[in-house]
Structure 1
Amino acid sequence: MSQGPERHAGSARNVVRGAVSGGVVQAGTVEGGVHLHGPSRQAVALPYRAGIAPPRAVAFQHRVYSPLLAEMLDRGGAAVPCADGPVRACVVSGLGGVGKTQLVLDYAERLWAAGEVDVWVWGAGSREAIVSGYARLAADLTGIEDHDPEHGAQRLLEWLATTTARWLVVIDDVQSPGDLRGLWPPATAGGRVVVTTRRHDAALRGPARRVIEVGVFTPEEADGYLRGALAGQPQLLGGDSDGVAGLARELGYLPLALAQAAAYMLDRNLTCAAYRGRLADRRRRLATLVPEGEGLPDEHRATVAVTWSLSFERADRLAPAGLAGPLLAVASVLDANGIPCGVFTAPEVLALLAAAARREVSGEDAVDGLGCLQRLSLITLDPDSRSRRVRVHALVQRATRDSLPPDRLAVTVRVAADAVSRVWPDIDGKTAVGQVLRGNLDALAEAGSQHLWEPDAHPVLFRAGRSLRESGALAQTRDYLHRLHTTATERLGRDHPDTLLARTNVALWRGYAGDPTGAVTAFEALLADYLRVLGRDHPDTLIIRDYLAYWRGHFGDLPGGAAAYEELLADELRALGPDHPDTLTARNNLATIRGKAGDAAGATAAYEELLPDLVRVLGPDHPNTLNTRANLARWRGHAGDPVGATAAMEEVLADYLRVMGADHPNTLTTRHYLAYWHGHAGDPTGAAAAYEELLADELRVLGPDHPDTLTIRHYLAYWRGHAGDAAGAAAAFEELLADEVRVLGPDHPDALTARCCLAYWQERARDRAGAAAVYEEALAERLRVFGPDHPDPLRIRAYRRERSTGDAPA
């Protein structure tokens, strides 16, 4: 054993014994009919050291946890006291491989070298080994050998309780809290106890004990370790500045993994970059990237994967038995940084657990199974986070996936995808849960992307695209949807319904990103393929015709869009019937395009006729019913009744708040229209105030760069101007224009509109020269984007003529 420097000459002996641990037994008690006289006599000279401690790691790192042991034990717990008195025992808990043993070894060696302990005992093992080790140690210390090891163990505890010697007992790698029942060393002024374990059970806590949760290296500690371990061959560090840091990051800063990776690199003369390349190869199992057997560094007893294998097995044996394994399998294909707990209680996961355990499994059972994994430090449960409740080390995930046969991995990936899809809210926008679920889908794709396309594209793939679009991340949405379409084409073929759906999403993105012309072109090509593959009356074909009509009208061809909707409505009435939701949607959209074409009264009448049918078919609280009520209020205002529009919008808002909540995007949109009609009803100051309140909520819910947030800023500036602050409106539009160009691009219709509004309010603020220059820029941009015959450039030209006569429009 590595003993460190001997402080005391003439040390009697250092006896290598078995595991040691203990519980408090007062002198004079009777155990099993054997009277333990106390205090026992001391039979060996001090200082005395027993047990086999491991060697110190070659590149040992002093860590943030090191001072904590000393603060707790050496200072009587002054820094972190227990409620029941000074700390006499520390339980060092954490995942296998985080360096618990090395931390405790460093602490023990420093105490021994400083002469602060007279007896240092190091041991580990099962309860049987602990008892036998105690008995042997009692014989050495007291000179009395008991034939019954249990009696000998109690004799040791009596000696520890009554001796004046200063002692330190280290019990390394305790497998179960039950192994220490009745065997904890006593809490005395001269005694210190340190236990290391992967367990996280409440039973490890007790009087005068504190638990230290040990995590992985910090990035700085990991960097120091790797540089120290590879110091003999510095060329392996490589010239890439990110080589060492990247390797540490990809190994999750786990000390054991870093040690074994360094040894593997030294054995094979691999640079950090080369090892990272092998690590990134998902065809390689984790067990193949560490030294074999005798080549393990620092006298490690097992590889990373084997180190955890016993933890996997023990967790699976804990009640409820048989659930921890499949739960960890599900966690292994999801995001290591956080998984919502609801994923593990989804019906699909419960069915997987029931099949594995061969019994009915409830959501409560699944939560208890997660607790079993936490008790073995295989996962971390964060009670303060709903969206990232379950966390797991990335290498634990990989070791778990390596143990899954291909058919079981395929099932696990599909079940996890089903569960993620199940817990995904209808609207998530920029909420934390949306970001977390998208991260979990990324992890699923990395763990087994092929299984998400067997036999068809999993619906969660499309849900993630919608989530990205709703979040306002236009560039990310574009890239994701194009990748989705490319993959669908490669895996399923050009005419597969899921490939066509992926193309549909790409076309929709173009429209939402401000390219209605591109959207029209894309939907025209799509419609030809849908007609060829699915036929004229297929519901999906009719949906494509709906999208095409919408974007035609949105592009500026309002008569063409209206005509397309009238044809579509006739076909949907024939193919689907008058009460089909798609037929009702077509009626809603036809009414909207009539209003945009200038027939506000006709749009109002169409909505009034549609609303009773929606209430009858879908119910009064259905989102489509509420949307139609909001549209009816809106077009009532455009038809010349802003006061009636305001009153109706207030009623709709009350129902949105009741049904969907304050932060739902539709609720926020309704508040936008309510503020708008307040202004048109003669209260521009009230409208501006309402938009200020709404903007604060949009920033909180959606973030500063979401298109809806930018829209609210537009109308806030608009109503500030109409409330009498033309200069403030011009300044606000100038700031808004810069942000819209940055977020949406210079050709987006909203950015083009903001440029015109900036010129208008500069004119109102008496900055005629500035307004003239901006109008020239706006006209040039509109001509470039839309062409000379589009209505927008024509309107700008007309306004320039009107402005030259001094007759500017309101």
Structure 2
Amino acid sequence: MWVRTGHPGGSGSGYLIGPQLVLTALHVVLPDQRWALQVQARVGHPRFGKVVHRRAEVCWPDPLEGVPAEDALDMALLWLEEPVSVESDPVRWGRPGGIVPLPFEGAGFPAFADEAARGDVEHLRGELPVVSTSSSDWVLDCRVWPDLGHGGERLWAGASGAAIFCRGRLVGVAVEDNRPMGGRRLQAAPVHEALSLPGFADLVTRHGHHPGTTVSLEEITAAQADTGRNEAPVTQPVVPVPIPQLATAFQPRSVLWDQIDAAWSDNRSVVLTQEQPRVLSGGGGVGKTQLAAAYATNAVKNRTDLVLWVAAAEVQQVTTLYAQTASTLKLPGASGEDLEADARLLLDWLRNTSRRWLVVLDDITDPYGIQPLWPASQTGSGRVLATTRSRDACLTGNGRIRIDIDVYTPAESGTYLHQRLSAENMGHLLDDHTTQLTHALGHHPLGLGMAAAHMINEELTSTQYLARYNDRHRLLDEVMPPAADTEGYLEPKQPTQVTAALLLSLDAVQASDTTGFATTALRLTALLDPAGHPHALWNTPALLDRLTIHHTPVSQGDATASHAPATAEQAHAALRLLHRYALLTCDTRAEPRAVSIHALTARAIRETIAADEIPALAAAVADGLLQLWPDPDQHHAEHAAVLRANTSALSSHSNDCLWHPDRHPVLYRAGNSLLNAGLAASATAYWQHMILESERLRGGEHPDTLTARGNLASSYQQAGRTSEAIQLLEQVAADTKRLLGSEHPHTLTARGNLAASYQQAGRTSEAIQLLEQVAADRERLQGSEHPHTLTAHANLAATYRQAGRTSEAIQLLERLAADTERLLGSEHPHTLTDRGNLAASYRQAGRTSEAIQLLERLAADTERLLGSEHPHTLTARGNLASTYRQAGRTSEAIQLLERLAADTERLLGSEHPHTLTARGNLAATYWQAGRTSEAIQLLEQVAADRERLQGSEHPSTLTAHANLAHARDAAAAVQRPDAETPTWRGMRGQ
């Protein structure tokens, strides 16, 4: 390339190292320590064909960081405005060494070899002298001088930025000539220094001639040439065994390419010339072999001297192929009669040769048996790439690095389906459900490949195929029949079904399983959420008992082993065995999702479970989840979310087993957890689904169905849908009384929740009447210290306060707060709620300082225990702000309320009653602070919203209009706005 700048006379050379990436000298684009205003690049030379012109800008070093120091490395990278398509191999980087001069060549030309003259490229040719190859910068001793007679111009003007090569490796960039030496010598900046600086290597790796660009430095010495001449004759490149063909629409998976290349670069810099083989690990069909094949194909294109593809499933096959390769290379002593001896000859040659080689060990199944046959290189010229399903630790260490191969990214999945179907002129089959389809398949390359082929064969749209895939009555081998294996994913094992391919490692697991627990552990895992479940689940009695009862005998007639209780240690060992064979992942660092499995593998496993075994397995998992579930779970938000997800997956995969003979408690525990977490929308959807399931399986009047309806009403209440909650709860209360009797716990729960909805709707007298009756019944039937009795008294006290019966509320709440703390602990959500209600009653009674003291502690506790965005935390903050305002601490109140109004609107929506309350209280505080116009504007909005959403006669609407009228008239001090919404503890079903 010829690089020109806007600076008078400014020009130099460059070299295209990627479609848009140019290597040049820094001073070409930084004349006189000022960045060039414009940069033009001419790609190519008139003598050699078409010339392309591009605009360019400096991308390294970053001009935004200012002008580099004068002693900065004289090297720069330019970014072309548009890419230039050229057929070029990836650049190989080198570092001269040794004490013998090395020949070099430069790709560049002086400024006077311009387009108009159509002059020859001025090749830079010569040697790096001894002083250069043993130092950190290069002296270029040029054999050919440039043409003289150009008016005293510097002889090599325009050569700055020329790329300098030794033995095909780019080693430096020409930067200046040496006048005292008569122009015979140039100097070059070494690229190994640039590769060690921040950003340079990353740009090269990402934007070089991909795939295959690396930043690995190869040591170059004159002695290497002599060694090469004495070695066995090799026709380049040698590929003794065909490399597997890449799949249609193969995805290059650039992130993995980057990981491989980065691993080579990092480890070579640490261990110098020792080769660092890599092991690609993953389950069946994730694309390990395809990625290795792409790497090997690229090695052939880059003229690697030997590319050896080895099917490594059996050690004897490896020995045989090594021996055949030794004969192909005509290595001295390779007779073809002693295979093991010939194999050792090849390994010795690989260890000592300076020729470039790549050995791919595909599908290692015996990690220990392959060790003596693992190639090594003392010269650093060779690479080993292995693929395996095993994660055995013996495959790492000794200079080997494992890179786990995951499934496609969502973007790669979408691209694959688009390219695969478009290649068959079937792009019209992709529709709005394509993204859902790739997600359902877990972005699994095998699954996507077979799904795409089946879609093409049957002309199914994404929507149609997704419906078939999700149909529980269709087996995996029906929606992914062997005929759909057009990419050879099922080779070379040739199983007849995709299920067999996914579970190919299971036989090896069973052969290695000393406890007999692994198969059962795999089946239990397959019923859970593929994204992961807590490792602690395997410490629960329920799962350990199931492993003991349902395990596979280790040996025939081993009665003692078949009845020995399973231990948590044995369960962990079984999980780690399955982990080593890539059937699942067991990583305790990932808690609470320490044990995970791919959805496609899980489905294949579920289809191998006999129908009569599922109920016992599902019951064990459900019992284990319930035993693991913390109570209360509000303090463990992430853990509770994972348990809910696993309950949902278990319910989906267990074929209604959790409803027979009785509904398992874990189903309703998950829904209650959503209510406890304040996730009203999710809770509403969950309980609507539970009602449908209960009606289908138990009937419309079954107690389970009534409980589900009551819990749905609680979800409505939490979401501010008070009228819907009341309507549903009145029906539930009537039905439970008619069917179960007036004293049944479910009836008392329904009446208690109905009273809470009455209170929320402002129907205080009805709420009090109902709650007094419920509290009395609870105490008579369940005792004064039963949690449900305490809840009834707490709701009654809060309703007393709302009705203005403050002294009764305080008397009841002081006793209740002491009882709940004694019985449930100081950090239980019910204890926190009672403190909040007591503080609100203190404030209403004018005992402001006591209220503030309680509320400050409460706000801190709820945020610490439940998080800053939990509804109880927001309520505590609102109550504290209102109490600050009442105490005249207006600025503190405004600060809290402004944050609260924003948070409630973001989390609950602009029309939720809590949001309206927060705005109303903020308006009142603005008024108190003298910010009259802001107060009136906000009060007008609140009054209008209250009337539209809650009706003109709702108490909160009347309060809002009264406050607005007082604010407008300014005839008297503004009355206290509508009180904050208290936190209710209505029962959530048992």
Does the TM-score normalized on the shorter chain lie above 0.5? yes
Q: CA deviation at 1:97?
A: 0.9
Q: Does 1:198 align with 2:389?
A: yes
Q: Percent identity?
A: 34
Bigger proportion of residues as helix: 1
Q: CA deviation at 1:505?
A: 1.0
Q: Tell me how large the CA RMSD over aligned residues is.
A: 4.2
**Aligned counterpart, 1:160:** 350
Q: How far apart, in 1, do the equivalents of 2:714 and 2:956 lie?
A: 23
Q: Does 1:680 align with 2:886?
A: yes
CA contact (8 A) 1:60 1:225 kept: yes
**Aligned counterpart, 1:498:** 704
**Aligned counterpart, 2:611:** 406
**Aligned counterpart, 2:67:** none
Q: Quickly say closer, same or farther: Cα 1:119–1:803, change in 2 above 3 A.
A: closer
Equivalent of 2:402, from 211, 235, 252?
211
Structure 1 letter corresponding to 2:580: R
Q: Quickly say closer, same or farther: Cα 1:138–1:592, change in 2 above 3 A.
A: same
What SS does the corresponding residue of 2:784 show, helix, strand or coil?
coil
Q: How far apart, in 1, do the equivalents of 2:416 and 2:874 lie?
A: 52
Q: CA deviation at 1:172?
A: 0.8
CA contact (8 A) 1:53 1:105 kept: yes
What SS does the corresponding residue of 1:120 show, helix, strand or coil?
strand
Q: How far apart, in 2, do the equivalents of 1:580 and 1:682 lie?
A: 40
Structure 2 letter corresponding to 1:195: A
Matches within 5 A, 1:435-450: 435-450=641-656
Q: Does 1:62 align with 2:252?
A: yes
Q: Tell me: higher relative CO, structure 1 or 2? Use CA pairs within 8 A at least 6 residues apart.
A: 1
CA contact (8 A) 2:430 2:461 kept: no
Q: Quickly say closer, same or farther: Cα 1:272–1:701, change in 2 above 3 A.
A: closer
> Which deviations, in whole Å up to 9, do the C-alpha atoms of 1:454-502 show, x marking residues without a partner?
2233333323333444555544433332222122112111222211100
Q: How far apart, in 2, do the equivalents of 1:497 and 1:482 lie?
A: 16
**Aligned counterpart, 1:466:** 672
> Which deviations, in whole Å up to 9, do the C-alpha atoms of 1:128-184 show, x marking residues without a partner?
433444455556644445877555543432233244554332211001321222221
Q: Does 1:392 align with 2:597?
A: yes
Q: CA deviation at 1:247?
A: 4.5
Q: Does 1:534 align with 2:740?
A: yes
**Aligned counterpart, 2:777:** 571
Q: How far apart, in 2, do the equivalents of 1:184 and 1:261 lie?
A: 37
**Aligned counterpart, 1:116:** 304
> Which deviations, in whole Å up to 9, do the C-alpha atoms of 1:690-734 show, x marking residues without a partner?
556778998999999998687656645543443333445566x4x
Structure 1 letter corresponding to 2:971: D
Q: Does 1:255 align with 2:445?
A: yes
Q: Quickly say closer, same or farther: Cα 1:713–1:184, change in 2 above 3 A.
A: farther
Q: CA deviation at 1:82?
A: 6.0
Q: How many residues align?
A: 726
**Aligned counterpart, 1:646:** 852
Q: Does 1:129 align with 2:335?
A: no
Q: How far apart, in 2, do the equivalents of 1:319 and 1:56 lie?
A: 36
Q: How far apart, in 1, do the equivalents of 2:841 and 2:809 lie?
A: 7
Q: Quickly say closer, same or farther: Cα 1:354–1:668, change in 2 above 3 A.
A: farther
Q: How far apart, in 2, do the equivalents of 1:273 and 1:71 lie?
A: 39
Structure 1 letter corresponding to 2:838: L
Structure 1 letter corresponding to 2:770: A
After TM superposition, the structure 1 stretch with the greater mean CA deviation from structure 2, 180-189 or 393-402, is 180-189
Q: Quickly say closer, same or farther: Cα 1:481–1:147, change in 2 above 3 A.
A: same
**Aligned counterpart, 1:599:** 805
**Aligned counterpart, 1:286:** 476
Structure 2 letter corresponding to 1:182: P
Q: CA deviation at 1:298?
A: 3.8
Q: Quickly say closer, same or farther: Cα 1:364–1:693, change in 2 above 3 A.
A: farther
CA contact (8 A) 2:281 2:389 kept: yes
**Aligned counterpart, 2:140:** none
What SS does the corresponding residue of 2:271 show, helix, strand or coil?
coil
Q: How far apart, in 1, do the equivalents of 2:967 and 2:875 lie?
A: 34
After TM superposition, the structure 1 stretch with the greater mean CA deviation from structure 2, 123-132 or 662-671, is 662-671
Equivalent of 2:948, from 773, 781, 791?
781
Q: Quickly say closer, same or farther: Cα 1:246–1:793, change in 2 above 3 A.
A: closer
Structure 1 letter corresponding to 2:271: D
Q: CA deviation at 1:541?
A: 1.8
What SS does the corresponding residue of 2:270 show, helix, strand or coil?
coil
Q: Quickly say closer, same or farther: Cα 1:137–1:446, change in 2 above 3 A.
A: same
Q: Quickly say closer, same or farther: Cα 1:633–1:222, change in 2 above 3 A.
A: closer
Structure 2 letter corresponding to 1:536: S
Structure 1 letter corresponding to 2:620: V
Q: How far apart, in 2, do the equivalents of 1:294 and 1:726 lie?
A: 73
Q: How far apart, in 2, do the equivalents of 1:695 and 1:799 lie?
A: 18
**Aligned counterpart, 1:83:** 270
In structure 1, list runs of 5 or more residues that go unmatched: 1-39, 734-756, 760-773
**Aligned counterpart, 1:5:** none
**Aligned counterpart, 1:332:** 526
Q: Quickly say closer, same or farther: Cα 1:699–1:182, change in 2 above 3 A.
A: farther
Q: Which has the larger radius of gyration?
A: 2
Q: Quickly say closer, same or farther: Cα 1:409–1:720, change in 2 above 3 A.
A: farther
CA contact (8 A) 2:450 2:484 kept: no
Equivalent of 1:485, from 666, 686, 691?
691
Matches within 5 A, 1:313-712: 313-318=507-512, 321-357=515-551, 358=562, 359-380=564-585, 385-425=590-630, 426-428=632-634, 431-611=637-817, 614=820, 623-650=829-856, 666=872, 669-691=875-897
Q: Quickly say closer, same or farther: Cα 1:705–1:793, change in 2 above 3 A.
A: closer
CA contact (8 A) 1:327 1:370 kept: yes
Q: Quickly say closer, same or farther: Cα 1:805–1:548, change in 2 above 3 A.
A: same
Q: CA deviation at 1:537?
A: 1.9
Equivalent of 1:308, from 502, 508, 512?
502
Q: How far apart, in 2, do the equivalents of 1:158 and 1:506 lie?
A: 74
Q: How far apart, in 2, do the equivalents of 1:435 and 1:361 lie?
A: 28
What SS does the corresponding residue of 2:403 show, helix, strand or coil?
strand
Q: CA deviation at 1:549?
A: 2.9
Q: How far apart, in 2, do the equivalents of 1:361 and 1:517 lie?
A: 53
> Which deviations, in whole Å up to 9, do the C-alpha atoms of 1:412-462 show, x marking residues without a partner?
333333444444453449944454444434433432351232223333332
CA contact (8 A) 2:308 2:359 kept: yes
Q: How far apart, in 1, do the equivalents of 2:526 and 2:728 lie?
A: 39
CA contact (8 A) 2:351 2:377 kept: yes
**How high is the TM-score relative to the length of structure 1?**
0.77
Q: Quickly say closer, same or farther: Cα 1:422–1:274, change in 2 above 3 A.
A: same
CA contact (8 A) 1:472 1:707 kept: no
Structure 2 letter corresponding to 1:95: G
Q: CA deviation at 1:47?
A: 6.0
What SS does the corresponding residue of 1:310 show, helix, strand or coil?
coil
CA contact (8 A) 1:316 1:372 kept: no
**Aligned counterpart, 1:36:** none
Q: Quickly say closer, same or farther: Cα 1:339–1:680, change in 2 above 3 A.
A: same
Structure 2 letter corresponding to 1:181: Q
CA contact (8 A) 2:243 2:297 kept: no
**Aligned counterpart, 1:102:** 290
Q: How far apart, in 2, do the equivalents of 1:585 and 1:669 lie?
A: 18
Q: Quickly say closer, same or farther: Cα 1:154–1:579, change in 2 above 3 A.
A: same
**Aligned counterpart, 1:15:** none
Q: How far apart, in 2, do the equivalents of 1:263 and 1:797 lie?
A: 66
Q: How far apart, in 1, do the equivalents of 2:914 and 2:567 lie?
A: 41
Q: Quickly say closer, same or farther: Cα 1:64–1:730, change in 2 above 3 A.
A: farther
**Aligned counterpart, 2:125:** none
What SS does the corresponding residue of 1:173 show, helix, strand or coil?
strand
Q: CA deviation at 1:42?
A: 5.5
Matches within 5 A, 1:226-245: 226-227=417-418, 229-230=420-421, 233-234=424-425, 236-242=426-432
**Aligned counterpart, 1:37:** none
Q: CA deviation at 1:614?
A: 4.9
**How high is the TM-score relative to the length of structure 2?**
0.64
CA contact (8 A) 1:50 1:122 kept: no
> Which deviations, in whole Å up to 9, do the C-alpha atoms of 1:585-613 show, x marking residues without a partner?
33333332222221212222233454555
